[in-house]
Amino acid sequence: MIMSDAEPARPVPDRTSGSDLLLRVGSALVLAPLAIGVAYLGGWIFAVFWGIAAIIVMWEWATLVSGSERRSMLMTGIVAVALAVVLAASGVGASESVLELRLAAAAIVLVMGMLACAAIAPRGRGLWAAIGVPYAGAMGLAPIMLHSDAKYGFVAMILLFAVVWGTDIAAYFVGRAVGGPRLAPRFSPNKTWSGAIGGLAGAVLAAVLTLKVSGVGSIVPVIVIAVALSIVAQMGDLFESAVKRRFGAKDAGSLIPGHGGVMDRLDGFVAAAVLACLIGLAHGGIGTPARGLLIW
């Protein structure tokens, strides 16, 4: 069992409700245009941006799981994640056969990184250490793959941003305004069912607006995809909350004012990005994942 190889979960003080709202808004006003601008520029700028995000997530995960004993695990995980991102990014624009080989190599590198981190992690933390490598790797690989579609990659990223941000914003304000039963009090006492439902509504509204502005996609499939991505994003948020509570941490880091660390800001995004990428690959193939996500 995952929770049997380390000390029992410790209670974590909850963030004071509303005390950091201004910081959150200020950070969002900086980060959202930055993410959109990088997605518009694309190319290696886009790959480097998400590669750096993935490395920071690996750093935060290693610190959370291993604390002061993180050094060996951290260096191993960063090398694996960085190499996987480079392999994936170098395959973008190449033939499908070359891209498949690069992605296979990236997957092998991540698996090797998992095994190495598990072997050198502090006693009782091997499984947690291993999980961090694909988690951080997904932060880099999923956006790169989705954006690799030259024609639809930018729109797919905007849809992904809109759904995740729409979910976060609506869930936050609806949850505070309505309240009600807790969604998962064991992991995140502040989240409510009303907020989760509000998040779904916000995701659908954001997706429909994106469709109307871009003129790409059909409304019914986009709504279904938005609901699926919103649910997965909220599950990703709960997963990270559970990990932090497991190791007695309030935040994964302190890099982003009002949000904590990069993991705290992108926990829902990484889960939604992985699902969006998988849907796109399954429907559109390895050469056009964004088209597969948007065009039905």
Per-residue model confidence as pLDDT tens digits over 61-95: 998 888 777 788 889 999 999 999 999 999 888 88
Q: Give the residue with greater pLDDT, 19 vs 11.
A: 19
Residue 8 confidence (pLDDT): 43
To the question of pTM greater than 0.85 for the whole model, the response is yes
- Helix/strand/coil percentages in the chain, nearest 5: 75, 5, 20
The model's confidence at residue 121, banded by pLDDT at 50, 70 and 90, is confident
Residue 289 confidence (pLDDT): 95
- DSSP H stretches of helix in 96-218: 96-120, 126-147, 153-178, 193-214
Three-state secondary structure call for residue 1:
coil
Residue 4 confidence (pLDDT): 39
- The token pair that represents 259 in the structure block: 């949000």
Contact 280, 292 (CB under 8 A): yes
Digit-coded pLDDT (tens) for 231-274? 999 999 999 989 988 888 777 776 766 567 888 889 899 999 99
Please report where in the chains the tokens 């993991």 appear, as a residue: 263
- Beta bridge partner(s), residue 188: 184
Q: How far apart are CA 276 and CA 203, in angstroms?
A: 14
**Most confident residue range from 72-76, 185-189, 192-196:** 192-196
The model's confidence at residue 35, banded by pLDDT at 50, 70 and 90, is very high
